[in-house]
Chain A
């Protein structure tokens, strides 16, 4: 990753001053040493002949609450102090990053005056299901911008936006621990910064942490999304239409690794959730939504319609807003229902091409947008 960033700056910004910041959370695996010592001696293999300014490095542990948000805060502070024009952040465990990513994340800011560059990845049709079924359609319906990967994790932004982020009083909240990605995207959109997307190709991470818990992950992402709804109610209530945002980069397609899916397990988890959590769900969702869920659980041909799913997510947002019960309890009951929706989408998209999958997600986004008046009406 460090080599890709160095090559990226050398190739695409040879005449610019650049600095690489490793905001470290106290890693014990020697990451700081590696970042500090790794230098590309010979740029010839990359067909780069000229490098006017060497890449400087800052390797520093961050302070504050442990989490990605606190690490980003350090980067924003460095950007502010150095009065940088453009900045890019990338996940350290990326395996598919290329030098082109640096160009794609930074050039829209430098040459086109954009403030925020969101990533656009090439992903397997079954991947990114929390993004596809909840975060993307909700963000789009609420704030009116078609940002395909609002929690992508790799962003470009202007120095002006970095300074603006620092003015927000969120660094002792959950944003510091998790939810920084959706917070950055929503803050940029809701405060009318100029936003675009860059096509980065495939996104491949290091092997998945076996201890990562879907329920905890889903709870964190959705709670951050709902927390931002509380922050900008006037903004999202006023949005009546949605618009595409500019997309840069050459779009290509490649064959992706097949993904193993256990449909039977997902559907049985959904049914278990409806049977065992029925009493709690009735306190969270509307009677109409609950009736739909029961109907879906009983049916032999399993399916969760887009209309039912979008109403369910809005009911969850309303339940958290009204504090019907502990927010952690509300959000954790979403896990089996989410698995039901994933199973339903996997069934729908089993034979679909990439374009057909995007068309299918457009239908889902349409369902959310159609139901937005329902959310506004119920939101007190």
Chain B
């Protein structure tokens, strides 16, 4: 009777005693992580401020892009925050790993495998956003200078096409509806082009003819001014 109650209790105590060092190690790692992350954030933020990266980010238009995305922090603070979270998450993962629980270990190994894809996908999305804005603006200005009446529409088309392509690539990388996203993009893009062609060919042929007439006429009516 004594063995029935005492032995499981002993084993439980032994397990707890065996687990406690791991728990303590994990807890210490997480606390150290908080402190390290805080120190690194301060150093990184101050260094970036000292290097005047905030002004540079404003100059290249990054500040405005972040503002449009609702992010009001200066670039230096964002970099500091990113460093903070990278350090903290790394220590939390090390802390959880130190617990040596099989289920947690399995989860962590899967997370490590997936993490590079998340980072690359984020970079692709950000690059697509910046490139879309830049090329959209270039297309808009070039269209206005060429006297195209639908310049605004062309600019937006270029901007969103680039962004959607980047988003498609990112989703494919993350393995989210790989084939579906690609096919959906191809159908939508192809559909838009086909719709424009049909509209120009049939529905809007008069508009197309007038537009081409106007373009040709304006070429003939160009000025003789020598601008230089």
Residue numbers of A with Cβ under 8 A of B are 126-131, 151, 205, 208, 214-215, 217-218, 221, 259-262, 265-266, 268-269, 272-273, 275-277, 280, 283, 322-326, 329, 332-333, 335-336, 342
Q: How far is the CA of A221 from the CA of B228 in the complex (A)?
A: 9
Task: Report yes or no: B227 in contact with A128, Cβ–Cβ below 8 A.
Answer: yes
B160 at the interface (CB under 8 A from A): no
**Is B7 at the interface (CB under 8 A from chain A)?**
no
Interface size on B, as a range, is 20 to 34
Question: B227 near A262 (CB under 8 angstroms)?
Answer: no
A residues within 8 A CB of B147? 265, 268-269, 272
Q: Which residues of A contact B218 (CB under 8 A)?
A: 262, 265
The B interface is mostly helix, strand or loop, or mixed, namely helix
B151 close to A272 (CB less than 8 A): yes
Chain B residues within 8 Å of A265, by CB: 147, 218, 221-223
Task: Give the contacting residue for A205; candidates B140, B152, B223, B226; CB below 8 A.
Answer: B226
Give chain A residues whose Cβ lies under 8 Å from the Cβ of B137.
Answer: 280, 325, 329
Residues in chain A near residue B144, CB distance under 8 A: 269, 272-273, 276-277, 333, 335-336
Contact assessment for A276 and B227 in the assembled complex, using a CB-CB cutoff below 8 Å: no
Given A272-B147, A276-B151, A322-B59, the answer on whether A332 and B142 have CB atoms closer than 8 Å is: yes
Expressed in whole angstroms, the Cα–Cα distance for A269 and B144 within the complex equals 8
15 A–B contacts from the bound complex (CB under 8 Å): A127-B225, A127-B226, A128-B228, A129-B227, A130-B227, A151-B228, A217-B228, A218-B227, A261-B223, A261-B224, A262-B221, A265-B147, A269-B144, A277-B144, A332-B142
Determine whether the beta carbon of B222 is less than 8 Å from that of A262. yes
Quick check: is B103 within 8 A (CB to CB) of the other chain? no
Query: Sorted from nearest, which 5 A-B pairs have the closest CB atoms?
Result: A323-B59, A260-B224, A215-B145, A276-B151, A259-B224
Q: Which residues from chain A contact B60 at a C-beta distance below 8 Å? A: 323
Check B225–A259 contact: CB distance below 8 A.
yes
Residues of A within 8 A of B226 (CB): 127-128, 205, 208
- Say whether B216 faces chain A, with CB atoms less than 8 Å apart: no
Q: What is the CB-to-nearest-CB distance from A238 to chain B, in angstroms, rounded to a whole number? A: 27
Nearest-CB residue, chain B, relative to A322: B59
A sample of 17 more A-B contacts (CB under 8 A), given A126-B225, A265-B147, is A127-B225, A127-B226, A129-B225, A208-B226, A218-B227, A261-B223, A262-B223, A265-B222, A265-B223, A269-B147, A272-B151, A276-B155, A280-B140, A280-B141, A332-B142, A333-B141, A336-B145
B185 contacts partner chain A, Cβ-Cβ < 8 Å: no
Q: Is the CB of A261 within 8 A of B225?
A: yes
Chain B positions 189-228 with a Cβ under 8 Å from a chain A Cβ = 218, 221-228
Q: How far is the CA of A127 from the CA of B225 in the complex (A)?
A: 5
Shortest distance from the beta carbon of B34 to any chain A beta carbon, whole Å: 39
- For B157, list chain A residues within 8 Å (CB): none
Name, among B143, B144, B218, the residue most crowded by chain A CB atoms within 10 Å (CB to CB): B144
Q: Do B227 and A217 touch across chains, with their CB atoms under 8 A apart? A: yes
Complex interface bits, B143-163 against A, C-beta within 8 A gives 1, otherwise 0: 111010101100100000000
Q: Is the CB of A325 within 8 A of B228?
A: no
Q: Which residues of A contact B141 (CB under 8 A)?
A: 277, 280, 329, 332-333
- B61 proximal to A (CB < 8 A): yes
- Nearest-neighbour CB distance to chain B for A94, whole angstroms, equals 13
B227 lies within 8 A of A214 (CB): yes
Q: Are A335 and B145 in contact, with the CB atoms below 8 A?
A: yes
Residue B188 lies at the interface, judged by CB distance under 8 Å to chain A: no
Query: How close is A50's CB to chain B, nearest CB, in angstroms?
Result: 39
With an 8 A cutoff between CB atoms, is B138 at the interface?
yes
> At the interface, yes or no: B134 with Cβ under 8 Å from chain A?
yes
